[in-house]
Structure 1
Amino acid sequence: MASLERRLGLFSIITICISSMIGDGIFILPALGFMATGPSLFIAFLISAFCVFPAAVSKAELATAMPTSGGTYVYLERTFGPLAGTIAGLGLFMSILLKASVSLFGIGLYLSFVSNFTDLHVILFFLTIITFLNILGVGKVSSFVTAVLFITLTSVFILCIFAGFNIQPAYYDPLLPNDILGLLSACGILFVAYSGVTKVAAIAEEVKNPERNLPVGILLSLFITTILYSLVSFILVGNFDFQSITNFTEFNQTPIVLRLASSVGGKVFIHIMAIVAVLTMVNTANAGILAGSRFPFAMARDQLIPGFLGKLHKKFLTPVTSILLSGFTIAIILTQLDVIKIAKLASAFMIFIFIIINFSIIVLRESGAQWYKPGYKAPFYPFVQIFGILTGSILLIGIGQLAIFAIIGMAVPGVLIYFFFARKRVSRKGVIGIRGRRTDLTSQPPQEINKHYLGQESEFTTDAEVVIALFGKERSAEMLVEMGISMAQHTSIEVAHILEIPEQTDIHDLIEEPAEMKSVRRRINAMAEDKDENITYDPVVSHDVSRTIFEISQRVHCNWLLVEWRGKARGRFTFDNPIGWLKSHLQCNLAVFKDKGVRYIRKIMVVIHNDKNDKLILKMADHLAKIYLAEVTLMRFAKTSSSDEHKSFEQRYLKELSQQLTAPTRVKVVVGKNQVSSFIAETIEYDLLIMGANEPRLFKRIQGTFKDKMMSRAACSVLAVHESTFIRS
């Protein structure tokens, strides 16, 4: 499939980002914000910037992990699945075009001050020119964008210098004439002024060195635009007495920027600023078509909408059909709809999308998806994302019912298109679907399992006692295999080295085995030969880790799945679980191993918890004790404050359990104030700790279960086992 040419550098990114914002943000929105909050307009711009910042850094991270055309649509589709991707793609496509339509209507407003051209046909003419420039290619459009942006910034800077001498300090008092509610309302209105800061992510596939240029470009653009908006709005409110304005409808008939220009340079300067405003609005509309057209392009490539929208022009290497669709959609809006009202609805939907963007960062980081490797990571995770979710929610509340209408109005078409077109053509689930509840696996008969997910290198037709799943982050694959050999009682072992890739990537594109897998294969094969063990090593490329593990365990009829415990990865606040919901629904027993580098196991510590895993724990301890010629110590915990009778009861209970073991066994009741700390102190004297591994709830995944705390702090190696409810007798 043809790909877009990477031709955009850092300067082009900053130019596109700023150009997509300053049109509305300087020439239209300040008047609406001034009407809502008065002299605190510049504060509202600053607050809005802070609310946008979490989404900006989050989107920069997502863009470096997925530098493909489509931006937000791609991120949400890969995170939450094709339904969310369809809704997000169409919703963003429409909201960006609606914003571009507002800019085009602004062209008509400002043209009326320098000419008699206010007819809709003139506005449509500008739309045609912009669409044609986009068809020619980003490079040509970028040159036009750069020139107009330079003229706009220069003109606004000159206006601010001269207007600054006319500032009246008394006009800033009172700062909040409409109280906090007015300020909150203004923030909701002005939020859309910053929405273009992440628009460049939609054309990430055309960015050179995206790992560096995307985050730097987005953050620099946000910083520059925030300073510009705050400066312009501070000077604007210092030149007009909010208290003396009694009729805002009449006041806004002349744009506030032109009123400021009139007070500085008279009619000549009004004409200059009106021309600059028209050029800037053209620029903003251009940026809207540029970014908006990439959404249907990316969606068509993923089969969510008809494929002809995803084709590139052979000469210009641009998605011509998508660009023409964008232009045609704007033309309908301009001729048929009340664009200003719909633009406000679109801005509410944009706030909602930014909330989901912040949430998607949390989902992707905590899921541990192997393919998610951003070149840039948002700072202060997850606090920045939580802040973005909370502030976005507050802004939606401030907008009121319009926010609900925006979400429903944009979501319904996406849902309809997904169920009537895309659902039959895609089987992707997204990270949430793969890691979440998988009744599609547990309810599916083994003979109906789809071979596609297992690749073509192995049919997995040989039975194995133990399947060892490698995910590429193991401390020592050899030590994990060593434990697997012991568990398998020297029978057969299947080592499945799983490489997870995004669902949108074709498995067959990965022809050559990665270097890391080749190295592990060589070492595992050498171990099998040296120890004369029946070990089969198979590299597996997978879109769906849960399905792959489930299918392999089904095919080889294993009794054990062995994985390494990885704890909390850096930059995450939940404990790792590579197989998600399937952990408690496997049709084989699960063993999680934490290697502490212990090579000789002579003393085994067993923690008994009186749960369903105790029988399996005792069986495993007895088996490994025979393999390693080790001594077993069964342990229970009793608080220091417990009665002697209770401690004696625990001692007798352990002695009863010890009768089930054939290996040398001792019992011990550990007395202390804290269960975890007391057991951790005991691990110093042992080589291996065996205990149960129950499935935790979400809060426990964040706080850490007893198993996680023990594994992270134990002085010896740890093996946690979980008995399957489906295990064969």
Structure 2
Amino acid sequence: MFHKTLFGRKQEFVNFYLKLCLSKALWERNAQNLFLTYKVIYVRILDLIREVLLKALERKLGLLSVVAISISAMLGSGIFVLPSLAIAQTGPSVWLAYLLASLCVLPASMSKSELATAMPTSGGTYVYLERTFGPLAGTVAGLGLWLSLLLKAAFALVGFGAYLTILADVPLITTAIISLLLITILNIFGVGKVSSALMVVVAIAITSLMALSGISIPVLDKDLMTPFMTGGFSGLMSSTALVFVSYAGVTKVAAIAEEIKSPEKNLPRGILLSLLLVTIIYCVTTFTLVGSVPSSELIGNYRPLYTMAQTVGGKGFAIFISIIGILTMISMANAGILASSRFPFAMGRDRLLPGAIGTLHKKYLTPVWSILLSSIIVAATILFMDVTKIAKLASGFMLLIYVFENIAVIVLREMRVQWYRPQFKSPMYPFLQILGILSGVGLLFGMGFIIVTAILVISIPGVALFLAYSRKRTTRRGVLGIRGKRSDLVDENVSLTNFYESIDLTKDAKVVVSLFGNERSPETLIQMAAAMSEGENLEVAHFTEVPEQTELKDLNTETVYLRSLRRRIIAMSVEQNIPITFDPIASHDISRSVFEISQRLHCLWLFKEWGGKKRGNFTVHNPVGWLRNHLQCNLAIFRDAGVRYIRKVLVIVNNNCDYELVVDTADHFATMNKASLDLVKIFKEKTPKNVLDEAQNRLASMCERTKVLSKSRVLISNKPVEDIIQLTAEYDLFVFGASNHSFIKDVIGSDDDRLIAGASCSVISVQSSQIIHEGRS
């Protein structure tokens, strides 16, 4: 493997060797310069070899590593401190609260696994949400994620202080603040990463908790477990929301998806296994806790497992459990400061926060200002908030983020984002995501007014920060911004800039064909468009959508698919003597690109293939759906049914379209293929006879104007879509006028989509620019 990798870098070695040979010719002129040249070459070769060796020896994380990392991110204050707070709200049913919280985490776990395999190097939840919802949502989400991790770190430090008081008589708050100061210094100096020893601590913690539960089972007292729910159902739900933070670390492993071997398999499996194991540990531990220690001794007790261990195993065992708790919570607090400081750092680099926060210290190479700011907030939380509020706020923020992660998966799938190609797809989509959204919102309401206040405290400063500072420094809009309402494209004063130098804008095209890479048969679509161009210029544009964070100039390599497509289009142009221009276009914004190319080339027609409902989607949204009602040219949407010989053409004439354009289009295709033409208009039953006669006369006059043999008829039906679909079995091409696009039709599906999907023959849906203009006026 090393030999192959080294061989792949041979060009760099050749370049250095040529420099070396050229330097020999200058030996007598400047020996000192030659020596320096040799030294530079030698150092560079060593760097190359070192780089190759590091790549060759790079280890991929397997399933066990994923499970270990995920568990290590969960165990801590969530089990060593939090049960006492949850018992105060629900009593002995605390184990059920942990179980319900685990079930609520499951949808977000699957959603984040999908997002991570689609964006493995994106940097976590902040960027997932920023890419999906735009920089405004990214700013608010970044602040929320940052504070949730800080609150969790503060909670861990309070728990650390509580257990430390067992070993030494020290004040809790002072101990937590001193520990925070030491952690801050460690992070600034760049030694804040958790070593492999943490894995050993986690293994010991798991074993100790299982042993603690095991020795507690024989002494369980059923009387201590009644009444089961002291706070009723509302208390159980409030407790479930409170302990939700215990599972917050389950998805942290998704941030290193690019280091996991076979992430499409090992990431979701690892998350599921770790979630299952930790759920068992939490539920069994809390079940034995309430069965061995009276609830009155646990409420307000910040070291419940010490009390439990002392009750069932004696003083020595209790001290051992305390030491394990201290180690796990101090490592969790350290990891919390380390991870949380990266959110404002990333936002600073994205220009959503002042640039100083997004810079590294020149000597220590750590985000010093971000770390200091994070530590100050943790200190303020410890000093001025009680433990229950800290836990509630941390859980509330994580619940909110998990809700939006589930929404993000739905948005990215349904918006048909080209670059969104996850290696792992969440099962039971979209029901699992909808369950996660509903359960998360329900738990948020169950937490009471405090979480509503907290959300406002985060949202209002986040929105204000974006409007006052960030908005002027970023041009990104996110997927929703790009796919949503585009006033920037219909403004008459808009300047169509930032276009594509590769396209000859001085040469108009009568017809433009837009390809998006998923067409069933691009050649057939181009042939249909060529029939409408009538020998005039035909522009074929292939659009590739890339994330906004990717520079378009970096995409300078044409894919194998595009090379093959270019070759086939050139062959078609030569064989059929059609003037075709092919241009591959990489764009952050497909809607804008399609709009601009149709404007700049002054085309009469825009052809595209029908982007109907795809597998794994529950809406029929397409990338340029909104533009259907705003393009300044006629739009033809084509579905190829594999028909190669067109002999009979069916036209449905309705009052909601430019029927003259529809008939002329169908007549044109019939003429090109020497086919017959049938004009049909549908009426409901009980339509007055004079209306039917008038329609028949109008159809007859249309038939007289067609270039091919045509006939007409009136069809009576109360189920027009079903009857038209049955009628298409007799024809080779079906042409009809499209209805106007709307968001509701995208979600539930329109009659147009049902006709196109159900027709037995090939279909062309025609939409006139004239109708669009009338609709807008």
Shift of 1:648: 5.0
Match of 1:270 among 315, 318, 323: 318
The yes-or-no answer on 1:495 pairing with 2:540 is yes
Corresponding residue number in structure 2 for 1:47: 100
Aligned to 1:528: 573
Aligned partner of 2:496 in structure 1 is: 449
Cα deviation, residue 657, structure 1: 3.5
Mapped partners of 1:109, 1:482: distance in 2: 76
Structure 1 pair 643/443, CA: closer, same or farther in 2 (3 Å)? closer
Q: Does 1:559 align with 2:604?
A: yes
Cα distance in 1 for partners of 2:241, 2:333 equals 21
- Check 1:543–1:307 CA distance in 2 against 1; reply closer, same or farther (3 A cut): same
Q: Give the match for residue 172 of structure 1.
A: 225
Q: Letter of the aligned partner of 1:574 in structure 2?
A: T
Q: Are 1:64 and 2:111 matched, yes or no?
A: no
Q: Distance in 2 between matches of 1:229 and 1:624?
A: 69
Cα distance change on mapping 1:393 and 1:119 into 2, 3 Å: closer
Q: 1:30 Cα deviation (Å)?
A: 1.0
1:592-671 correspondence runs (5 A): 592-639=637-684, 648=693, 650-671=695-716
Q: Which has the larger radius of gyration?
A: 2
Pair 1:113-2:160 in alignment? no
Counterpart amino acid of 1:407? I
* Cross-structure match for 1:472: 517
Deviation at 1:658, TM superposition (A): 2.8
- State how 1:18-29 maps to structure 2 within 5 Å: 18-29=71-82
1:380 corresponds in structure 2 to: 428
Map 1:191-590 → 2, pairs under 5 A: 191-204=244-257, 210-242=263-295, 245=296, 251-253=299-301, 255-310=303-358, 322-323=370-371, 325-335=373-383, 338=386, 340-445=388-493, 448-451=495-498, 454-590=499-635
Q: Secondary structure at the match of 2:427?
A: coil
Tell me, yes or no, if the aligned pair for 1:69 and 1:206 is still in contact at 8 Å: no
CA shift, 1:171, in A, is 3.0
Q: How far, CA to CA, are the matches of 1:536 and 1:41 in structure 2?
A: 68
Pick aligned residue for 2:743 from 691, 698, 701: 698
Aligned equivalents of 2:123, 2:453: Cα separation in 1: 25
Alignment partners' CA distance in 1, 2:100 and 2:387: 26
CA contact (8 A) 1:69 1:295 kept: no
Compared with structure 1, are the counterparts of its residues 253 and 598 closer, same or farther at alpha carbon in structure 2 (3 Å cutoff)?
closer
The answer to whether the 8 A contact 1:133-1:140 is kept is no
Residue 18 of structure 1, CA deviation: 2.0
Q: Give ranges in structure 1 of 5+ residues lacking alignment.
A: none
Give 2:141's aligned residue: 88
Superposed counterparts of 1:129-168, under 5 Å: 129-131=182-184, 141-168=194-221
> Corresponding residue for 1:9?
61
Q: Could you tell me how far apart the structure 2 residues matched to 1:509 and 1:118 are?
A: 57
For each residue in 1:57-97, what CA deviation from the matched residue of structure 2 results, as whole angstroms up to 9, or x when unmatched? 11111111111253111111111111101110111011111
How far has the Cα of 1:175 moved from its partner?
2.3
Any idea what SS the aligned residue of 2:476 has?
coil
C-alpha separation in 2, matches of 1:339 and 1:589:
64
CA contact (8 A) 2:194 2:335 kept: no
Deviation at 1:560, TM superposition (A): 1.1
Classify 1:506/1:175 alpha carbon distance in 2 versus 1 (closer, same or farther; 3 Å).
Answer: same
Cα RMSD over matched residues? 2.8
2:552 alignment partner AA: I
Spell out, residue by residue over 1:549-608, the C-alpha distance to the aligned partner (whole angstroms, 9 max, x if none). Answer: 111111101111111013111100011412131221111111100011222222110011
How many Å separate the matches in 2 of 1:668 and 1:364?
45
In structure 2, the partner of 1:724 is 769
CA shift at 1:702, angstroms?
3.3
Structure 1 residues 70, 407: CA separation in 2 closer, same or farther (over 3 Å shift)? Answer: farther
Q: Distance in 1 between matches of 2:267 and 2:369?
A: 26
Do residues 710 (structure 1) and 755 (structure 2) align?
A: yes
Equivalent-residue separation in structure 2 for 1:302 and 1:255 (angstroms)? 42
- CA–CA separation in structure 2 for the residues paired with 1:707 and 1:69: 38
SS at match of 1:113: helix
Q: From the superposition, tell whether residues 405 and 278 of structure 1 become closer, same or farther in structure 2 (CA, over 3 Å).
A: same
Is 2:83 aligned against 1:30? yes
The residue identity in structure 1 corresponding to 2:535 is H
Whole-Å separation in 1 of the counterparts to 2:83 and 2:619: 43
**Alpha-carbon distance change, 47 to 608 in structure 1, aligned in 2, over 3 angstroms:** same
Report if aligned partners of 1:70, 1:294 keep a CA contact under 8 Å in 2: no
Superposition deviation, residue 696 in structure 1: 4.0
CA contact (8 A) 1:561 1:588 kept: yes
**Bigger CA drift: 67-76 or 430-439?**
67-76
Misfit runs of 4+, over 6 Å:
4-8, 135-139, 312-318, 640-646, 726-729
Q: TM-score, normalised by structure 2?
A: 0.87
Return the alpha-carbon distance in structure 2 between the equivalents of residues 254 and 122 of structure 1: 14
What corresponds to 2:9 in structure 1? none
Q: Give the secondary-structure state (helix, strand or coil) at the position aligned to 1:719.
A: strand
Distance verdict in 2 for CA 1:571–1:104, change over 3 Å: same
* Letter in structure 2 aligned against 1:494: E
Question: What one-letter code is carried by the residue in structure 2 that aligns with 1:449?
Answer: L
Aligned identity (percent) is: 47
Give secondary structure in 1 for the equivalent of 2:314. Answer: helix
Structure 1 residue 614 displacement after superposition:
1.8
Offset, 1:258: 1.7
d(CA) in 2 for partners of 1:299 and 1:254?
35
Q: CA separation of 1:145/1:725 partners in 2, compared to 1, >3 Å: closer, same or farther? A: farther
Change (3 A) 1:526 1:370: same
Change in 2 beyond 3 A, CA 1:262/1:725: farther
User: Is the 2:84–2:301 contact (alpha carbons within 8 Å) kept by the matching residues of 1?
Assistant: no
Compare relative contact order (CA 8 Å, sep 6+) and give the higher one, 1 or 2: 1
Contact 2:192 2:334 in 1 (8 A): no
Is the 2:157–2:329 contact (alpha carbons within 8 Å) kept by the matching residues of 1? yes
- Range that drifts further, 114-123 or 173-182: 114-123
Residue of structure 1 in register with 2:723 after alignment: 678
Question: Once the 2 structures are TM-superposed, how far is the Cα of residue 16 of structure 1 from its aligned partner?
Answer: 3.4
Which amino acid in structure 1 is aligned with residue 235 of structure 2? G
Q: Distance in 1 between the 2:263 and 2:548 partners?
A: 21
- Post-superposition shift, 1:212? 3.9
Task: Determine helix, strand or coil for the equivalent of 1:662.
Answer: coil
Greater shift in the superposed pair: 579-588 or 657-666: 657-666
- What is the aligned length? 719
Q: 1:444 to 1:61 in 2, by over 3 A?
A: farther
Query: Any stretches of 5+ residues in structure 2 without a counterpart?
Result: 1-53
How far, CA to CA, are the matches of 2:259 and 2:382 in structure 1? 30
- Cα distance change on mapping 1:635 and 1:310 into 2, 3 Å: same
Alignment check: 8 A CA contact 1:202 1:294 kept: no
Letter in 1 for 2:394: A
| Cα contact 2:114–2:423 (8 A) shared by 1 | yes
Counterpart Cα distance in 2 of 1:151 and 1:95: 27
d(CA) in 1 for partners of 2:195, 2:500: 43
What does the per-residue CA deviation read over 1:147-200, in whole Å, with 9 as the maximum and x for residues that have no partner? Answer: 221121121111111111111233333322322111111111111111221233
Residues 508-551 of structure 1: CA deviation (Å, up to 9, x unaligned): 11111111111111111111111111111000000000011111
